[in-house]
Amino acid sequence: MTKTLLKLTEEQKEHFEREGYLIVKGLFSAEDLKEIDVTFEEISKQVVPRYFEPDLNADGTDPLKRYPRVMHPHRFNETAKKYMLHQPVMEVLADLYDEEALAAQSMFYYKPPGSRGQALHQDNFYLQVEPGNCIAAWTAIDAADEENGGLLVVPKTNTLDLSCPDLADAKESFTTHYVKPPKDEKAMPVVMDRGDVLFFNGNLIHGSYRNKTKDRFRRAFICHYANESATHISEFYRPLYRQNGDPVDLEINPDGGPCGEEFQTVYPH
């Protein structure tokens, strides 16, 4: 019988509801983190068509050419799938959702020194989870701060509707979309230790700045989840998975979202 490892306090749940995000410590052991280190170090030396396509001979002018993000590693690597379905993370999500969570996506960011950041955006613009919302679980594999391009959040924007994004500054962001925060609302840095997990709501505006360091990566393992009662999701995130590994197929969301039917949400997330 699986034992329950963690329950959130009422204060933690209230913080998530009010601010749109929550940091939880202690969900990954030192052994877990070491296994993630080794797995993605091995992945970084290869090309996996469609999911990870680095230029292994890149000249270093754009560090992300050598170290792009890994998309959906759970589709080709069992260790990535195991940690996408990591029981302590899934238990926190069940607490936040008040129902079982379904895993929709995994990603790994290397973010080497000098890398551009990611312009402010909202996750559920891409996942299109309905009814309900997606929640991200953003795990710091390296300590993350302002200098090495840690995450930025705009607190309380989880209550906003999804916005049709503007064009991002390509010199500072490797993605093309930018969502402007409301007037008088500012993005604040989230400082995290190795192994900390940041959970945040799919409407929360967030992003990151450039990694300004000379010698510090800012690696992160990031997964997105949907509530079990959701019926629709964007086609790129199917199938989803229960914690026991069983696949679940939600309907494809045909909604054009806040940009209208003609807008194509590129699969950047």
Report if residue 70 sits inside a domain: yes
Position 254 scores a pLDDT of 86
240 within some domain: yes
User: Is 92 a member of any domain?
Assistant: yes
pLDDT in tens, the chain (269 residues): 344 557 899 999 999 999 999 999 999 999 999 999 999 999 999 999 999 999 999 999 999 999 999 999 999 999 999 999 999 999 999 999 999 999 999 999 999 999 999 999 999 999 999 999 999 999 999 999 999 999 999 999 999 999 999 999 998 999 999 999 999 999 999 999 999 999 999 999 999 999 999 999 999 999 999 999 999 999 999 999 999 999 999 999 987 788 876 555 555 56
> Within a domain: residue 83?
yes
Query: What pLDDT, on a 0 to 100 scale, did the predictor assign at position 257?
Result: 81
Contacts (Cβ under 8 Å, ≥6 apart) of 9? none
pTM: 0.94
Sequence-ordered list of residues with C-beta below 8 angstroms from that of 32, at least 6 positions apart, any chain: 83, 86
Assess contact for 27 and 195: CB atoms under 8 A: yes
Asked if residue 5 is part of any domain, the answer here is no
The CATH number of the domain holding residue 171 is 2.60.120.620
- b/e map 118-128, b = 16+ CB within 10 Å: bbbbbbbbbbb
pLDDT of residue 7: 85
Residue 67: inside a domain: yes
Q: Is residue 186 part of a domain?
A: yes
Number of domains in the chain: 1
Give the domain range for residue 25.
13-248
